[in-house]
Structure 1
Amino acid sequence: MTAMSLHDTSRKRAGLKLTVRGRRVLAALLLAPVGLGIGIGVAQMPAAFAGDDAVAQGAHEQFEMHTVLAGESLWDIAGGIAGSSDVRDVVAEIMRLNGLSDASLQAGQQLALPNL
């Protein structure tokens, strides 16, 4: 009669072992969706600008620079360049061009003025 062991210690379980080629294949499979997403994003860039006439024609917004004098207000400046335009619209345009949240100015401040 032979003795039989319940635990076979001669065989060891081996973990998952990847070769260099296997690691490269796994990395390629994991990175493929990222590369695909970037490629699609880059391919769509021209279409994003297609509807913008200024970009399509290469036109740039034209403006002049003005240095604010002591005691000068935004309304004074807008009134001087408004011509036949509504001064309120010119004030709004100056604020938009310069990223201003309100109409307060400081002496020496540089302002971009629209060409009307």
Structure 2
Amino acid sequence: MSAITVPAPAAPVTRLRLTVRGRRVLAALAALPAVIALSVAIIGGGSALASREDGVPAGGFVTVTVEPGDTLWAIAEEVAPAADPRDVVDAIVRLNALEGVTIAAGQEIAIPAQYAPTSP
């Protein structure tokens, strides 16, 4: 009798199969650089605030203490004589979340930086 040689079976070709957990880990690793970049931008974003030459922060506000007899209209005309007082009063009301235009002596109100007086 003659010997029959049978070829050895070829090694099976396997595909990389990821579990749900593995896919989540890969997605988290892929998103990590974006998360780090956003974190740095959010944390460091406050240091890049611009300010006007007189020290008032751009986009910020300054506070004014209301004196006896003051009205929002009078304050608006005082802090921004070149602007329309109606616009200034509206901006002050919105910034301070006032329910009306009534203010009391001693009350501190915020004046938008764009209308802030140049000299305290």
TM-score (ref. length: structure 1): 0.47
More helix as a share of residues: 1
